[in-house]
Amino acid sequence: MALWGGRFTQEADARFKDFNDSLKFDYRLAQQDIEGSIGWARAIASVGIISSDEKDRLIAALEKLLESVSADPHGIADAGFEDIHSYVESRLIEEVGDLGKKLHTGRSRNDQVATDIKLWCRAQIEVLLSSIRNLQRKLTLTAETYQNVVMPGYTHLQRAQPIVFGHWAMAYVEMLERDYLRLENARRLMNICPLGSAALAGTAYPVDREQLAHDLGFDDATRNSLDSVSDRDHIAEILSCASISMMHLSRFAEDLIIYNSGESAFLELSDRVTSGSSLMPQKKNPDALELIRGKTGRVYGALMGILTTLKALPLAYDKDMQEDKEGLFDALDTWHDCLDMSALVLEDIKIRTERTTAAAKGGYSNATELADYLVSKGVPFREAHHIVGELVVYAIGEGKPLEDLSVAEFQKICPVIVDDVYPCLEISSALAKRCAKGGVAPQQVASAIGFMKNHLGL
Ligand code: ARG
C-alpha cells in the first residue's frame, strides 16, 4: 500500500515502481525509522494530538515491530513497499488499526528520512570509531614488538636513512588518530535533529522540537526547516572522513605489499590473509592488502557521487536525494571491513629482521652520517654533501659499502677523514642522533609508543 494513493487514478507502472522504490536498500534504516517514530509519537502526544493511552499503544506496537525487524533485518528488503517509512507505517497499521494512521500527523517523510539517516550515521560512527581504535592498538603493539628492528626508510622509494619498524608502524597510528578526530568532529556537527521540520516549512503543530531532539539523543534541534530536509552535508563529510582514512589504509597496504615482495622480503604475511595462484604453485599473494588498496577507489567514488548528486539541487527536498544511501552504506561497510582487515593482517605478521637490517645497511643510507661527520670536522655542509657524493660513486665502483672503505681510500677524496669516522657510519649512531621529538632515536620511539599505549588504554 502506498502512502499517497488519493490523488491518483492510475496504478504506477511496474517499471516505474521498481525504479522509484527504495526499500531494497533503505531497509537498513528500519531500526532508526522506528526509533524516530517512537520519538514522534511522544512529541504529538505532548501537544494533545493523540492521547497518552494512544501514545503507549503506538510505542508498544513500534517496539514489537523493532524486535521483529531486528530478528531478520534483511527480510524486509523485498516486502514490496515503496520505502522503509511506508513499510513501518503499514506494519503499524496492521498491528493497531486506525490508530496507526495518526502517527504521521505533522510529519513528512522528508524530515523522517533526514532524521533516520542521521541516526544511522551516528550508530555507524560509533562502530567505526571503535574499529579505528582497535587498529591503532594493534599497530602500537606491533610497533612495540618490533621497536628496535632496523629497516631502511625511503623517499622516492629509494633507501634514504635507516629507521626502525616501530617508527614506521607508529606513523600509521598518528594518521588514524587524525581519522578518529575527524570522524568525532563530523558526529558533533551532524548531531542536530531535523524531525519536526515536516515537508519543508516546519510542522504545523506546536511540538517542543528541542525536547524531541534530546529524546532521540541529539544535542539540539535544527534552526531552519528548509535546510533540515535538504541537508546531506553530513553524508558528504562522513564520506570525506572515510576517503581520507581509506587513503591512509591504502598507503599502509602498499607499504606492506612492497615489503612483502620477493625483492624486499622484509616480512612474511600469514597464510590466513593471503591466497595462492591456481597456476603457479609457489605463489602466496597479498590479496587482503591489495583489496584494501583497491577498495579505496569505491569509497572515493561514493564521495564523488554524493557531492555530484547534491550539486545545484534546488531547495528543499528533491527525489535525487534518495541516491544518498547506497553509496553511504557501501562506503561505510567497506571502510569498516578494511579497518578490521588491516588489524587482522598485523595479527601474525613476521618481520624478517635479517633482511630489513641488511637492506638498511645497503643502499648507502649512512651517507648523510658521513656528511654530518665532515661538518663536525669544520667542512661546510654543501661541500660535505659534494664530497660524500664522490665517495659514494667511488664505493659503488669498488662494490663496497662506505664503512668498508679504508682510511687511505677515504683520504684520497677527503683528507680530513680519519679513524673516528667508523662509529659514525654505524646504524645505531644514525638512529641515536635523531633524538629530537618525533625522531627515530630509541628513546623517542619508546616514548611515542608509551604515549599511545596510555592514550589507547593499553
Ligand atoms: N525514500 C525517500 C528518500 O530516501 C524518502 C523520502 C520521500 N519523500 C518524498 N517526498 N517522496 O529520500
Q: Give pLDDT, residue 1.
A: 60
pLDDT digits (tens, 9 = 90+) for 83-113: 999 999 999 999 999 999 999 999 999 999 9
pLDDT digits (tens, 9 = 90+) for 171-203: 999 999 999 999 999 999 999 999 999 999 999
Q: Is 113 in the pocket of ligand 1 (CB under 6 A)?
A: yes
Answer yes or no: 156 catalytic: yes
Q: Cell digits for 311?
A: 550539486
The one-letter amino acid at 278: S
CA of residue 109 to ligand 1 center, whole Å = 6
CA of residue 113 to ligand 1 center, whole Å = 7
Mean pLDDT of 254-267: 96
Query: Three-class SS of residue 447?
Result: helix
Instruction: Give the span between the Cα atoms of 411 and 395, in whole angstroms.
Output: 13
CA of residue 110 to ligand 1 center, whole Å = 6
Range in 73-77, 131-135, 210-214 with the lowest mean pLDDT: 73-77
Q: Is 322 in the pocket of ligand 1 (CB under 6 A)?
A: yes
State which of 319, 323, 325, 328 you would mutate to test the pocket of ligand 1, scoring each by most atoms of that ligand within 8 A of its C-beta. 319
Answer yes or no: 277 catalytic: yes
Q: Is 22 in the pocket of ligand 1 (CB under 6 A)?
A: yes
Instruction: Give the span between the Cα atoms of 335 and 182, in whole angstroms.
Output: 14
Residue 66 in this model has a pLDDT that exceeds 70: yes
Instruction: Give the span between the Cα atoms of 340 and 356, in whole angstroms.
Output: 26
Instruction: Give the span between the Cα atoms of 343 and 345, in whole angstroms.
Output: 5
CA of residue 451 to ligand 1 center, whole Å = 48
Residue 412 in this model has a pLDDT that exceeds 80: yes
Q: Is 109 in the pocket of ligand 1 (CB under 6 A)?
A: yes
CA of residue 82 to ligand 1 center, whole Å = 9
Instruction: Give the span between the Cα atoms of 415 and 374, in whole angstroms.
Output: 10
Average pLDDT value for the chain: 96
CA of residue 319 to ligand 1 center, whole Å = 6
pLDDT digits (tens, 9 = 90+) for 321-374: 999 999 999 999 999 999 999 999 999 899 999 999 999 998 898 999 999 999
Catalytic residue among 51, 70, 277, 428: 277
Residue 3 in this model has a pLDDT that exceeds 90: no
Which residue puts its alpha carbon closest to atom 7 of ligand 1?
109
Instruction: Give the span between the Cα atoms of 374 and 388, in whole angstroms.
Output: 9
pLDDT digits (tens, 9 = 90+) for 303-326: 999 999 999 999 999 999 999 999
Which pTM value belongs to this model? 0.94
Query: Three-class SS of residue 151?
Result: strand
Q: Give pLDDT, residue 267.
A: 96
Mean pLDDT of 53-61: 98
Q: Could you tell me the sign of the dihedral formed by the alpha carbons of 435, 136, 234, 40, in that order?
A: negative
Instruction: Give the span between the Cα atoms of 382 and 391, in whole angstroms.
Output: 15
Q: Cell digits for 340?
A: 578490521
State which of 87, 110, 313 you would mutate to test the pocket of ligand 1, scoring each by most atoms of that ligand within 8 A of its C-beta. 110
Q: Is 134 in the pocket of ligand 1 (CB under 6 A)?
A: no
Mean pLDDT of 210-216: 98
Q: Is 83 in the pocket of ligand 1 (CB under 6 A)?
A: yes
Q: Give pLDDT, residue 51.
A: 98
Spell out the residues 6+ positions from residue 270 whose beta carbon is closer than 8 angstroms to its own. Answer: 345, 347, 348, 349, 350
Q: Is 321 in the pocket of ligand 1 (CB under 6 A)?
A: yes
Mean pLDDT of 215-239: 98
Number of other CB atoms surrounding residue 192 within 10 Å: 17
Mean pLDDT of 431-442: 97
Residue 302 in this model has a pLDDT that exceeds 90: yes
Q: Cell digits for 314?
A: 534546488
